[in-house]
Amino acid sequence: MAKTAFLGLGVMGYPMAGHLAAAGHDVIVWNRTEAKAIKWASDHNGKAAATPVEAIRGADFVFLCLGDDPDVLVVFDAMASEIRKDMVIVDHTTASARLARELYARSAEAGAAFIDAPISGGQAGAENGQLTIMCGGDAEPFSRAEGVMDAYGKRMTLIGESGAGQLAKSVNQICIAGIVQGLAEGIHFADQAGLDIAKVIEAISGGAAQSWQMDNRWETMRDGHYEHGFAVDWMRKDLRIALDTARSNGASVPLTAMVDQYYADIQAMGGNRWDTSSLLARLGRSKG
């Protein structure tokens, strides 16, 4: 079993670190709010560190699951003095490919490996150990980390060199944005036309219109319940990263830009913490 450190115990990180402990790995955790780390240690018979540098001391694998580029950089700087040869640092934060490449280079200077490994599957995926993990970096350290990430991942794919995992996550979020908007408009159309939404979904979900979002979100959308997944604030952060990258690489993503502004409308409605399916709310279907 591996000696691991897990830094960042949000709605995703807390259960992910728990799966590592349940799989028998030696886990020490750190969180900006220390009380949460102490609670995790109590829940999982583990250990909590007061600082990032204390958490990673002697670790073979270091996992980060934080908020955004600035958060990752602050924590990386704080733990830099303990980064050592053959350590594998895996960043599960959805951050920029630019930052991933910077931290890959800094890790390499110390003889360590850095893998950008953003995740998809939401809180339920983290709790059930069924996350999809998109990775960028070198094959050998990825192979080592893969056996540890298996504790909470159902699919781990090395996309390419450093930064490729973050770019793949942007692809994921671009696709989701368009699918959810299409589903919202479809439900809105059915409602306005006086159709039985449940029967419509039953009819079309077995065909080309089917999607994970349709299968898992149509009913809560119909009922105006938006407390079931990834928050609008976080989706806007991810779309900002995707749109910034598109501007730099010349990709044309007009639908993504439009849906990003629709999410801004949701924020203006007070829906910052609603899940991403709340796109329906701006079309006139009230929140339940």
* Domain regions of the chain by residue span: 3-161, 167-283
Catalytic residue among 169, 199, 237, 287: 169
169 is catalytic: yes
pLDDT confidence bin for 162, thresholds 50/70/90: very high
* Distance, CA of 158 to CA of 161 (rounded, Å): 8
**Residue 287 — pLDDT band, cuts 50, 70, 90?**
very low
Measure the N-to-C terminal CA separation of the chain; round to a whole number of Å.
47
The residues pairing with 284 across neighbouring beta strands, listed in sequence order, are none
**Is the pLDDT reported for residue 141 higher than 70?**
yes
Mean pLDDT for the chain? 96
What per-residue confidence (pLDDT) applies to 288? 46
Q: Report the distance separating Cα 88 and Cα 96, nearest Å.
A: 19
Q: Report the b/e string of 67-88 with b at 16+ CB within 10 A.
A: ebbebbeebbebbbebbeeebb
Q: Are 56 and 81 in contact (CB under 8 A)?
A: no
Instruction: Report how far Cα 280 is from the mean position of its chain's Cα atoms.
Output: 22
Whole-angstrom distance, CA of residue 94 vs CA of residue 146: 18
Q: What is the pLDDT of residue 285?
A: 61
Which residues pair with residue 155 across a beta bridge?
Answer: 132
Which residues have CB under 8 Å from 58's CB, separation 6+? 3
Distant-in-sequence, close-in-space partners of 204: CB < 8 Å, separation ≥ 6: 210, 214
Does the pLDDT value for residue 286 go beyond 90?
Answer: no
- Read off φ and ψ for residue 134, nearest 5 degrees: -105, 120
- Digit-coded pLDDT (tens) for 84-127: 999 999 999 999 999 999 999 999 999 999 999 999 998 899 99
Contacts 24+ apart (CB under 8 A), 270-275: 271/226, 271/232, 272/231, 272/232, 272/233, 273/231, 273/232, 273/233, 274/226, 274/227, 274/231, 274/232, 275/217, 275/226, 275/227, 275/228, 275/229, 275/230, 275/231, 275/232
The class of domain 167-283 in CATH terms is: mainly alpha
Percent of the chain scoring above 70 in pLDDT: 99
Query: In CATH, what number does 3-161 get?
Result: 3.40.50.720
H-type alpha helices, 110-163: 122-128, 139-149
User: C-alpha distances in angstroms, 230 versus 142, 234, 260?
Assistant: 27, 7, 14
